[in-house]
Amino acid sequence: MGGNVKTTMFLKECLADALIKLLQQKPIEKITIPEISETATVGRTTYFRNFTTKNEMLIFKLVCLWNRWTEEHGVVERKRFTLNNAADFFNFNYEIKNLLELIYRRNLRSTVYDAFYEVMMPQYGTNAFECYESRFYSYALFGLLDEWVKRGFYESVEQMVENVNRICGRRQ
C-alpha cells in the first residue's frame, strides 16, 4: 500500500506540474483536462480520480512544495504560524517566487490563500480558539504575502520578518 500512496502522490504532482507548464502559455480557463493529462503523460482518469478542479492541482502543488521545503530545512513547526517561524514562511515563498508570480499573472491568487489555509488549519480534535487562530494567521499571512508579491518581492526576507514583528508589537 505504501507504494500506491507514493505512486498516487507522484502522479498528482505530475498533473500539477503539467498544469503549471501550460499556465505559462495560456490562462487556466483555456487549459483542458486532456491537455493536462497529455502533458503529464498520464490518463485522464488519473485527474478525475484525484482532483475535481484545476485549482485543486495548484493547491496540492503549493502544499507539496511547503512540506518538502520544511522537511529539507528541518522546520519543526510546519502546521501553524508563530513569530518564531516567520523567516521560514518568507524564505519558502521567496524560493518559489517564480511560481507565485505566474499564479498572480493568471489571476489565481486565491489558490495561494487556499493552500496556506490547508497547511495551517488545525487537524482533528482542535478547539474553537485554534480554529480562529489558524484562520487569523492564514488571512494575515496571505495579506502580507499578497502585498509582497504585488510589490515584486521588493523587500528582503529579513525586512518582511521585521514587518511581522513590528505589526505584532514584538521588537527584535
pLDDT of residue 171: 56
pLDDT of residue 132: 82
162's grid cell: 521585521
pLDDT of residue 3: 57
Q: Dihedral sign, CA of 10, 15, 18, 19? A: negative
pTM of the model: 0.89
Q: At what angle do helices 157-167 and 86-95 cross, to 10 degrees?
A: 140
Burial status of residue 111 (CB atoms within 10 A of its CB: 0-12, 13-18, 19 or more):
buried
- What average pLDDT values come out for the chain (172 residues) when binned by 10 residues? 77 98 98 97 94 97 95 82 81 97 96 87 71 80 93 97 87 52
pLDDT of residue 1: 42
pLDDT of residue 125: 59
- Closest alpha carbon to 90 in 135, 133, 154, 136: 154
